[in-house]
A and B are shown apart, each in its own frame.
Chain A
């Protein structure tokens, strides 16, 4: 069957099998930021935004997103995404890096809907992302810093550093 997806701001048509999982389609088409981890909805490494909402692409059929808007990490190129990337590097929130695309998608989704989250809200937003290296502390710190900078209008500094 044919489906059309607006993926990272581009309309694309794909031929998929009716029982094909979105994660498999995205990786086959070269969106390699979308990682295959547990393939059971647990680890969040395959997270994407579907119409702006974070979802695990391993628990969705490709046919379900026909006509919808998908954003992968490759498509996050605005100021907020840049700030998050830079801050994750600055505070050392990345170790092996496998979970990071998913964590960044969750962080982006959080700060888009809630620019000034509490620590509890940050933890809740990351509860679908497994990271076996960092212990989350640095990731939470990075998100807090970006939120603080957003509030203070201090995004110039971040953009310069990228």
Chain B
């Protein structure tokens, strides 16, 4: 219960929602509520429900490899969407199915999952490995790469913007496949470590690779050195070992209550290897 909340707004347009937010510095946008409702903070005094803004569209062009998902689309509505089957060989849907539990995915939205960089988020590394672009409204409609969303200089902008959607464009040529690996203490627990990886191959050669590691224990980042080292090569056992080793050396991991730094290093190696092996088996 947010005991200091005195007003609940249901704006009918993005402009109205943003004005309400700008008028009261202690107002919060509300999407699914699965993050906010658990807070017992004294700070929020107004809630701005985004439900009426019709930001839950899903447009997919499988042939062109393009996808637009509205920010208030529920995670389970993406997981269970028949139009999305086979997009990036099922990587997005399979990955998102590992987020929380069925009732949480039924309520939680994609937008609500990326605005705050929760360290253990699965959604962030899954989308980072798809090179997702975030659409937001900040008096005008703007875009920004997800990998740059949490840059220090952008945080004040993000704090006062409404995320409206997520765009994914797969490379024009080649076939993209991916694998998301999650390591948690139990089915119920959030990730202690997670790895998202996509590979685009053309004629047996890797034309694009993306790998992101999350719950390090800080929020997910891409392993650009690994991505570069994969370009122009062919997936085989030697490359899988070499890449997994490089991932474990370059992922910036540290210790927390769940895992020591050493354990995380070893796990990154194992999970990168599993992800690449998973992708290789799909290509073969």
Contact = CB atoms under 8 A, between A and B. Distances in A.
Interface of A: 1, 17-21, 24, 39-42, 44, 47, 50, 53-56, 58-61, 63-64, 106, 124-125, 127-128, 130
Contact of A124 (B37, B102, B188): B102
Contacts of B33: 59-61, 64
A56 B104 contact: yes
Given A18-B7, A55-B106, A64-B30, A130 B188 contact: yes
A50 B32 CA distance: 12
Given A55-B107, A56-B107, A58-B37, A127 B49 contact: no
Contacts of A21: 1, 37
B49 A54 contact: no
8 contacts: A17-B5, A19-B8, A19-B47, A42-B188, A44-B103, A59-B33, A59-B38, A128-B104
A106 B103 contact: yes
Given A44-B101, A55-B103, A63 B2 contact: no
A61 B97 CA distance: 24
B34 interface: yes
A54 B8 CA distance: 24
For chain B, the bracket of interface size reads 20 to 34
Contacts of A130: 188
A71 to B, nearest CB: 14
Contacts of B97: 124
B107 A61 contact: no
Given A61-B30, A61-B36, 18 more contacts: A1-B8, A18-B47, A19-B1, A19-B3, A19-B8, A24-B1, A40-B38, A41-B34, A41-B104, A42-B188, A47-B103, A50-B106, A58-B37, A58-B38, A59-B33, A61-B47, A124-B97, A127-B102
A50 B8 CA distance: 20
Contacts of B85: none
B140 interface: no
Nearest to A42: B188
A63 to B, nearest CB: 5
Interface in B46-77: 46-47, 49, 51, 76
Interface in B84-137: 97, 100-104, 106-107
A18 B102 contact: no
B187 interface: yes
A94 to B, nearest CB: 20
